[in-house]
C-alpha cells in the first residue's frame, strides 16, 4: 500500500509511534500472544508497509522519548492517539493510567491532561467461575471532560500509517448491546459502547477524520475500513 502524501515524520518516528500505541493497547493484558502476533503481522504488512520495523514489541517511555523528543508537536500528537487507544473499549484501567503517566513525564507533556481520565478510572473485571461482570462505565459530568475533549479534537493527522492504525483500532460502529447468559439465565446486560463511553464522539470524529485523510489527501481505497 502506497500513499501520494509525503509524511513530515521519519520512518523511525512512525515505527516508535506504532510501538507506543501497541504498548498502550496491551497494557491491561487483554491480548494473548497469538493475538499480539496477528496485530504485529497486520501492522507490518498493511498498516505501515515500507517502514523498517525491526520490532513491534513494547517500547519504554524513555525509548519513545529518544525518538519523538520532549515537548514536541509529534510527542503531543502521539499522546493524543495513545489516549484514544486507551479508551477505545470504553474503560480506562490502572495499567493504562500508569503507562500514560510515565509517557507524559518522559515526553515532557503536562500530566493535567490525564486528570479528568483519572477521575473516571475503571477496573476491568475478570471472568471467574461465579460471575461475569462488565466493567463500570466512564461516567463524568460533561464539563469535567470538556478540556480533554478539546485536546483530543486538536489531533493533527499527518501520516497515512498512523491514520490506518487508528481506523483499525477504533470500532467502525457502536458495538451492539447484548445480554450475557449463563446456564440459561441472564447474568448481566451490557449496554452499547456509545452509551458507556462519554468520549465516544471523539473516537467517531477521529476515525472519520482519519478516513477522510486517507481518501482525500492520500487517495487511498478506504473500503476495507468501512
Site of grid cell 513525564? 105
- For residues 7-22, average pLDDT: 85
Angle at 168 between CA 122 and CA 188, to 5 degrees: 40
At 124 the pLDDT is 37
Q: Which of 39-43, 148-152, 191-195, 218-222 has the highest mean pLDDT?
A: 218-222
Residue 181 has pLDDT above 60, yes or no: no
Calculate the alpha carbon distances from 68 to 54, 97, 134, 175, 205 in Å: 17, 20, 36, 34, 25
Residue 92 has pLDDT above 70, yes or no: yes
135-145: pLDDT as tens digits:
444 444 456 78
* Cα distance between residue 59 and residue 80, in whole Å: 17
Instruction: Give DSSP secondary structure letters for 118-135.
Output: HHT---PPPP-SS---PP
**Residue-range domain boundaries for the chain:** 11-220
Q: How confident is the model at residue 86 (pLDDT cuts 50, 70, 90)?
A: confident
Q: How confident is the model at residue 2 (pLDDT cuts 50, 70, 90)?
A: low
CB of 169 closer than 8 Å to CB of 21: yes
104-134: pLDDT as tens digits:
999 998 888 888 787 766 433 333 333 444 4
pTM to 2 decimal places: 0.75
Give me 177's grid cell.
Answer: 448491546
* Cα distance between residue 50 and residue 151, in whole Å: 31
Amino acid at each position: 500500500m502506497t500513499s501520494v502524501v509525503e509524511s513530515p515524520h521519519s520512518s523511525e518516528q512512525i515505527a516508535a509511534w506504532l510501538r507506543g500505541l501497541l504498548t498502550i493497547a496491551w497494557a491491561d493484558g487483554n491480548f494473548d500472544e497469538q493475538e499480539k502476533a496477528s496485530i504485529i503481522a497486520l501492522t507490518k504488512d498493511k498498516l505501515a508497509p515500507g517502514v523498517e520495523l525491526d520490532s513491534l514489541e513494547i517500547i519504554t517511555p524513555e525509548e519513545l522519548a529518544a525518538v519523538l523528543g520532549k515537548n514536541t508537536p509529534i510527542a503531543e500528537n502521539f499522546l493524543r492517539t495513545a489516549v484514544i487507544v486507551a479508551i477505545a473499549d470504553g474503560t480506562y484501567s490502572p495499567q493504562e493510567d500508569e503507562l500514560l503517566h510515565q509517557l507524559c513525564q518522559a515526553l515532557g507533556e503536562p500530566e493535567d491532561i490525564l486528570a479528568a481520565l483519572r477521575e473516571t478510572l475503571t477496573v476491568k473485571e475478570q471472568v471467574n467461575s461465579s460471575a461475569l461482570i462488565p466493567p463500570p462505565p466512564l461516567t463524568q459530568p460533561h464539563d469535567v471532560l470538556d478540556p480533554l475533549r478539546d485536546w483530543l479534537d486538536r489531533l493533527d493527522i499527518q501520516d497515512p500509517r498512523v491514520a490506518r492504525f487508528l481506523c483499525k483500532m477504533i470500532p467502525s460502529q457502536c458495538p451492539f448491546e447484548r445480554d450475557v447468559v449463563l446456564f440459561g439465565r441472564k447474568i448481566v446486560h451490557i449496554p452499547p459502547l456509545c452509551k458507556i463511553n462519554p468520549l465516544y464522539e471523539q473516537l467517531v470524529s477521529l476515525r472519520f477524520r482519519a478516513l477522510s485523510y486517507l481518501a482525500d489527501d492520500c487517495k487511498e481505497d478506504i473500503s476495507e475500513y468501512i
